[in-house]
Chain A
Amino acid sequence: MNGRVTQEHALAKVLVDDVSVRFDGTLALDHLSLAVGRSEFVSIVGPSGSGKSTLFNVVSGLQRPTSGRVLLDGRDVTGETGHVGYMLQKDLLVPWRTVVDNIVLGAALTRGATRRDREEAAALATRYGLGEFLHHYPHALSGGMRQRVALMRTLALHTDVLLLDEPFGALDSQTRLDMQLWLLSVYEDLEVTILFVTHDVDEAILLADRVAVLSERPGRILADLPIPLERPRDLDVLTSAEFTELKREVLRLLHDRAPAVAP
Chain B
Amino acid sequence: MSGIPPFVRRAVGRVVLALLAVGLIVGVWNLVIVAFGLKPYALPTPQSAVSAIVHRWSTYQSLTLQTIEETAYGFGIGAGIGFLLGVLMSASKTVQRLVYPALITSQAVPIVAIAAPLAILFGFGLLPKLVIVAWIVFFPVVVNVLDGLAHVDRDLVNLARVMGAKRVRAFLAIHLPATLSPLFSGLKIGATYAVTGAVIGEWMASAQQGLGTYLQTANASLDTEGVFGATILLTAIGVASFLLMVAAETVATPWRTRSTARRGPRSLLRAALGSSPDISRRKGARRWFGSLPGAALRGSRSQSPPPPR
Contacts and interface: CB of A to CB of B under 8 A. Distances in A.
Nearest to B252: A96
B155 A137 contact: no
B258 A137 contact: yes
Interface stretch (B121-129, B204-212, B229-237, B280-288): B280-288
A34 B258 CA distance: 46
A175 interface: yes
A85 B161 CA distance: 11
A175 to B, nearest CB: 6
Given A175-B309, A178-B309, A192 B166 contact: no
Contacts of A119: 269, 273, 284
A95 B255 contact: yes
Contacts of B273: 119, 122-123, 126, 131, 134
Contacts of B295: 160, 190-192
B158 interface: yes
Contacts, number: 175
A98 interface: yes
B285 A127 contact: yes
B interface, size bucket: 35 or more
A91 B205 CA distance: 56
Contacts of B266: 100, 118, 135
A59 B155 CA distance: 16
Interface stretch (B49-57, B167-175, B215-223): B167-175
B35 interface: no
Q: DSSP class of B's interface residues: helix, strand, loop or mixed?
A: helix
B22 interface: no
A126 B308 contact: no
Interface string B136-162: 000000000000000001011011111
B269 A122 contact: yes
A98 B280 CA distance: 19
A interface, size bucket: 35 or more
Contacts of B301: 185, 188-189, 232
Query: Which of A85, A144, A188 has the most chain B CB atoms inside 10 A of its CB?
Result: A188
B28 interface: no
Interface in A68-93: 81-86, 88, 90, 92
B281 A126 contact: yes
Interface in A191-205: 191-192
Interface stretch (A106-114, A208-216, A252-260): A106-114
Given A60-B162, A96-B177, A137-B259, A130 B308 contact: yes
A189 B299 contact: yes
Contacts of B255: 95-96, 137, 139
Contacts of B281: 123, 126-127
Nearest to A131: B277
Contacts of A62: 158, 161-162
Given A86-B162, A135-B267, A189-B299, 15 more contacts: A61-B162, A82-B163, A88-B155, A96-B255, A106-B163, A123-B287, A127-B281, A127-B284, A127-B285, A127-B302, A131-B273, A132-B308, A136-B259, A160-B295, A185-B302
Interface of A: 60-62, 81-86, 88, 90, 92, 94-98, 100, 105-106, 108-110, 112, 115, 118-120, 122-124, 126-132, 134-137, 139-140, 142, 144-145, 157-158, 160, 175, 178, 181-182, 185, 188-192, 232
Interface of B: 153, 155-156, 158-166, 169-170, 173-174, 177, 180, 253-255, 258-261, 266-267, 269-270, 273-274, 277, 280-281, 284-285, 287-289, 291-299, 301-302, 305-309
6 contacts: A81-B161, A135-B267, A137-B254, A145-B308, A158-B291, A188-B299
